Amino acid sequence: MPITPINFRILDMEKVFIFDFDGVLADTRELMLRHAEAVCAQLGHPCRATAADLEALNQMSFAELGRRLGIPEELVEEFARRNIELFAAVQQPPEIFPGMVDILAQLSTQGRLAILTGNGSQVVRKFLAHHGLVKYVEILLSLEDPGTRAEKIARLVDLLGTPGSEVYVIGDSVSDIRAARQAGVRSVAVTWGHQSKAKLSRLGPDHIVERPEALLDIFREDDKLITHN
């Protein structure tokens, strides 16, 4: 599938910021749990989905959530598909975490921004338009795009980076940290999303932040370290 830029710009930048969507930009936890319960019931396997189920996942995806909730393997793909459809059918896009609009605006002046998500592209595009973020995000890779998470990170680096670029993956799950490491880029774990600081810390991300404003502090501090070295 060809990758179509959301907002193409030519910038002489040394940073690439790759954001996860659910749990980092969009506050979708309750919506995700509610949809999961509805789909389980539709498939004949009633369940109660809780935040603890998201916390337990080692791979953050609709398929893995379905397995966690007891969906038989032959129905896992259908579980994921129906969850994506429910997200796409929501008329009002999810809320954005406080402060993130300003953070993305500031980061767009320092580097190039992309979104890498396990959700559907329609959901993310609607969210970006609703919150006035389209002008900041250049590339979106979603569930529809082929490849593993690490492979998609590498593709984004090829598209947006230059030799010597500092690349950051900003995510809220252990699978984000793992994929960043596999792709050879820096990982930034945020604690306001779907998994706890304790779980994220065990994988040793390059940075852990507990509030959106701290993202700017991290990137400024890295600039100082690079300059001094």
| pLDDT tens for each residue of 161-176 | 887 789 999 999 999 9
pLDDT for 204 beyond 80: yes
Q: Look over the chain and give the mean of its residue pLDDT values, rounded to a whole number.
A: 91
Q: What is the dihedral of CA 218, 220, 225, 227, to 10 degrees?
A: 160
CA 5 to mean position of chain CA atoms: 17
Q: How much is the pTM?
A: 0.90
Characterise 3 by phi-psi region: left (phi > 0), alpha (psi -120 to 50), beta (else). Answer: beta
Q: Is 163 exposed, middle or buried (0-12, 13-18, 19+ CB in 10 A)?
A: exposed
**What's the pLDDT at 163?**
76
- pLDDT single digits (tens) 88-107: 999 999 999 999 999 999 99
When pLDDT is cut at 50, 70 and 90, the band that residue 226 belongs to is: very low
Average pLDDT over residues 194-199: 97
| Distance of alpha carbon 174 from alpha carbon 177, whole angstroms | 5
**What's the pLDDT at 218?**
86
**What's the pLDDT at 223?**
57
pLDDT for 60 beyond 80: yes
Per the CB < 8 A criterion, the answer to whether 199 and 170 are in contact is no
Q: H or E segment at 66?
A: helix 62-68
Average pLDDT over residues 107-112: 92
- pLDDT single digits (tens) 12-43: 447 999 999 999 999 999 999 999 999 999 99
| Distance of alpha carbon 110 from alpha carbon 12, whole angstroms | 10
**What's the pLDDT at 221?**
65
Per the CB < 8 A criterion, the answer to whether 190 and 172 are in contact is yes
| Distance of alpha carbon 64 from alpha carbon 71, whole angstroms | 10
pLDDT for 4 beyond 50: no
**What's the pLDDT at 219?**
84
